[in-house]
Structure formats: C-alpha cells, structure tokens
Amino acid sequence: MEIRTRFAPSPTGFLHVGGARTALFNYLYAKAKGGKFILRIEDTDQDRSTLDSEKTILESMQWLGIHWDEGPDIGGEYGPYRQSERLEIYKKFTNLLLEKNLAYRCFCTPEELEAKKKQADAMGIPNVYDGVHANMTPKEIQAKLDAKVPYSIRFRVPHKQVIVDDLIQGKVKFDTKLIGDFIIVKSDGFPSYNYAVVIDDYLMKISHVIRGVGHLSNTPRQILIYEALGFPLPQFAHVSEIVGTDGKKLSKRAGATSILAFRDLGYTNECFANYIALLGWSPEDSQEYIKKEKLERIFDIERCSKSPAMFDVFKKMSEEEKESVSLNSLTTVELGNYLNPKSKLNWLSNKHICDMEMNELMKEISPFLEIANIPSEYKDINNTTIRDIVYSIRVYLDRLSQAPPYIEEFFRVEINFENEEAKQILENANAKTVVHEFYNFLQSSNPKTPQDYKNLMEEVGKKTEQKGKNLFMPIRVATTGKTQGLELPILFSLLGVEKLLKRIAHLTKESVLKI
C-alpha cells in the first residue's frame, strides 16, 4: 500500500507550532516511507477562512522546507485540494446518506439550539442533541422545505461503542451516547469538518491520518461516517500535546506564535524543523542534533510518545504577565526579550549555524547583513572580508539576528565603553603600560594572522611582566570597549593594524590614555 499522508489546515490564522509539527510529522513520515504528502485546505468555515491565511500557511511551510506533492497551488490527481471547491462531491454522499436514512434534516433554529445548550449547561449535563427532527414523516419534511425553512443535516448516530485503534495512543474506547446526532452539513450548505474530512481522506487515498491529540475526540464521529459510507479506515496517529515552560498547553497569547516569527528572530529553517521534530518524537540513537536529510530518512510514527512535549523556547511567564502580554502581537525585537536563552532551540541553533556550509550560512545571514550598520560593499555575501568575519563570529550566535552587533564591531573606528567597569580597567597604571606597549608593538611589527597577534601579545606580556587577565583585559577594553567577545587574535587579524591603532589613538584623544 502506498503511504499517503496529509496536512489539512483551516486557513483561519497563521501557522503556529502545533500545526507546523503536524505538517512536519506528516511530511517526514511520507518521505521516510517513500510515500506522498498532500496539502489540503479545509476552508469550510466561511466566516473565518481567508486567502491571506492560506498564503501565510503555505509560506510558513515553504520556509520550513515542507514540500507537498499535491496541493491547491500545484494540483494533483485527487483535486481540487480546497474543500470549498469540493461541495458537489460532498453533496453526492449526503444524498446517499439521506436516501439510506442514515442522516436527516434538522430544522432547529440557532436560537432553539442555543436554548438547549443553555439548559444542558445549567443542569450540568453534556449537551447531546435530542433528535427532535430525527423521525419526521416525508410529508412534514416536504412542508418545511416548501416553506423554505433553513435546515442543517445531521448524522444519525447509532448507539454503540467505537474503538479508535491509534498508532500512538493505543486503543481508545468511546461511547456514542455522549456524541448525539451531529451536523454534517451546515445550514449554509457547507459540510462540517468531521464530515468533509472523512470523504476527502477517503477520496484522496490517505493511508495515515497524523494530527494533534486534540482531534482524538473527533475520531469516533469520523469513524461512524467511514462505516456509514462503507469506506475502509485509515491508520490514525494522534501526536502528543505541546506544553510551554509552565507545563500548560500553548495558547496564542503564550507561545503559539506564528512560525514566521522564528524566521524573523534569526533561527534557520533546518534548525527549527529539527527542534519541532523532537516535540513528541525521538530517534533510536537519542541524538538530538539532526540534519533535515537524516530526519527525512529515519522519522517513524512508532517512536512518537504519548507524553506532552515541552516547547521551551519562551521564558516562563507569570500569570500576570500572561494577562498583560500577548506574545502573538509583539514585534520581533520585543518577542526576542521573551526567549529562553537556555532553550534546546538555542542550543541546536548554535550547532546548526556552526555546522553550516559557508555559502549556505552567508545566504541565510544576508537579510541580517542588509540591516547591519556597515559599509554597503560588505553586505555582498561574496566579499571575502565579511565572509571571514561571519566565519569567526558564528560560534557566538544562537540566532542569525545576533550577528549585526558583532559585525558592526569590526567597522567601528572609535570605541564606546560598554560600561563604567570597562572604563575603570584602563585607570590602573599597569593596564595603561600594557596598552602602551601593545600600541608600540603594533606600530613596529606588521602582524597579519591570528598567530602573529598571539606572538605579539606574548611579547607585550614579557615586556610588561603581565599575564593572563592583567594582560589581555586592558588590551581587549582598549580595542573594543568591552570586557568580553571574540578571541582577540582572531578579532585583531580581522580588524587589521590600522584600525587597532586608530581605536587606541582615539582613547588618547579622549584623555583615557596617553600614548
């Protein structure tokens, strides 16, 4: 049997972590098994579906490197791939169900249904539809139809136990008593989710339905439809819930932000896909740093876990903070302040950045070079100086967006002290001597490589009889204004003698030093 999986988003917002994880698992499973991955847009909620949302979802998937074999934009053998374009198909099956008396028209008004719901809520019992119109005579029905009374169509739910045999959750039993006759076609003529999804999954020959565990409770309804229409069941796999650092389900306010925000924050798509692949799945060898090409080979539903997966990207927020801030509506820079610096995502990201092939890294970093405050010729990703700079700073980056301040550092002629503490280091007499000697050695020798600078600093150490922190800290502060940063020999070889001399000379002008 050919493996065919699908991602079936409703275009009612952006793609968030939960959706992206579902899309990725379906894609990876199809890839690993040599099957096909299908994208289907479930836009039957006419009030909430928008084309803009569909576009954002597609853009997010493309960014993540999730490629579909069939979909609304590229077509395929089983199209159309937008539910709103498949109404005629559903109608055929609805007529069949009506003919077989497996479904019936419900003429209840929204007000009547609302009143029933309120009553059930007040009594503290589940709101199960009472089936008032389940047994109307053909004459009664015709009279309502002639009077043009709007109606929905409900599925006649048989009383039985339904067992969902799930690849991840195991066998889960449901009693249909608590389901009640549910709507399969709404009064606007559009099918409900639980109905359309079955017809489409069957007609599109979907072999595995992989989705969030939130949909497990919908599955018995869907199974009843499969049975009524005589369709074979696909394999179901409901993946675990995703929780935030507070252990609570991700909400749009606290964590379920748009996937594109992570692109803008400077995470690479490969790293982000690696991270979300680990939300509820782990490889046999427990290695967490995994390249996309390997994920596409080794992913398997069998290794998915039932336990909630922790999305540790954002810091734990207090309840008050959650009330006042919605992560979802922040700018990228603001959102950056809520990142958890110790997240697994950052750890993976740094590894991916360091491991990336240089041409690839330059391509990924180029949007951030664009916004860096540096001469325009260095924004060219083929410029060898900027390539050397990026190469040397990459180990310090958890996100590509952190690159500009490091890069700008190389182009600064005059330094600014990061704080008073840094400035005070140069007030010490020994420190002044060290910088003085460093300046002299710079003038008299012609260092180029990191090794040349290492040797030069050793000479300065010998001459001034200073070593360790007492030697390199004054030099670092006098040349960068900061107490930490890149390894000095590497930094110096990139800055060059001329710029170093200028920086130190500038301190003399500012009367911090006398050279």
Is 13 one of the binding residues for ligand GLU (CB under 6 A)? no
**Min separation Cβ 201 and ligand GLU, Å:** 8
**Min separation Cβ 8 and ligand GLU, Å:** 4
Under DSSP, the state recorded for 481 is S
Q: Name the strands in the sheet holding 183-185, side by side, starting at the edge strand that comes first in the sequence.
A: 103-106, 152-155, 183-185
Torsion of CA 124, 125, 128, 131, to 10 degrees: -100
| Residue with smaller CB distance to ligand GLU, 15 or 457 | 15
| Residue with smaller CB distance to ligand GLU, 41 or 434 | 41
How many residues appear in the chain? Answer: 515
Site of tokens 């939960």 = 18
Is 10 one of the binding residues for ligand GLU (CB under 6 A)? yes
Residues 6+ apart with CB under 8 A from 147: none
| Residue with smaller CB distance to ligand GLU, 105 or 215 | 215
Q: Which of 8, 356, 425, 435 binds ligand GLU (CB under 6 A)?
A: 8
Identify which of 469, 461, 444, 506 has the alpha carbon closest to the alpha carbon of residue 514: 506
Under 8 Å between Cβ of 225 and 198: yes
Alpha-carbon gap, residue 269 to 276, rounded angstroms: 11
**Min separation Cβ 75 and ligand GLU, Å:** 20
Report the site for ligand GLU in 35-64 (rule: CB under 6 A).
Answer: 42
Report the site for ligand GLU in 346-365 (rule: CB under 6 A).
Answer: none
| Residue with smaller CB distance to ligand GLU, 222 or 346 | 222
| Residue with smaller CB distance to ligand GLU, 154 or 238 | 238
Alpha-carbon gap, residue 513 to 128, rounded angstroms: 83
**Min separation Cβ 129 and ligand GLU, Å:** 22
Structure tokens given for 174: 């449901």
Is 23 one of the binding residues for ligand GLU (CB under 6 A)? no
Q: Can you say how many angstroms the Cα of residue 99 is from the centroid of all Cα atoms in its chain?
A: 46
Residue 323 exposed, middle or buried by CB count within 10 Å (0-12, 13-18, 19+): exposed
**Min separation Cβ 122 and ligand GLU, Å:** 30
Under 8 Å between Cβ of 220 and 193: no
Q: Of 6-14, 89-97, 146-154, 394-402, which segment contacts ligand GLU by CB under 6 A?
A: 6-14
Under 8 Å between Cβ of 10 and 39: no
| Residue with smaller CB distance to ligand GLU, 197 or 386 | 197
Report the site for ligand GLU in 202-221 (rule: CB under 6 A).
Answer: 211, 215
Q: Which of 102, 164, 197, 386 binds ligand GLU (CB under 6 A)?
A: 197
| Residue with smaller CB distance to ligand GLU, 199 or 494 | 199
Query: Measuring CA to CA, how many Å separate 50 from each of 13, 31, 66?
Result: 8, 30, 21
Q: Of 3-11, 125-133, 139-147, 385-393, which segment contacts ligand GLU by CB under 6 A?
A: 3-11
**Min separation Cβ 10 and ligand GLU, Å:** 4
Alpha-carbon gap, residue 335 to 347, rounded angstroms: 18
| Residue with smaller CB distance to ligand GLU, 304 or 488 | 304
Q: Which spans of this chain sit near ligand GLU (rule: CB under 6 A)? A: 8-10, 42, 193, 197, 211, 215
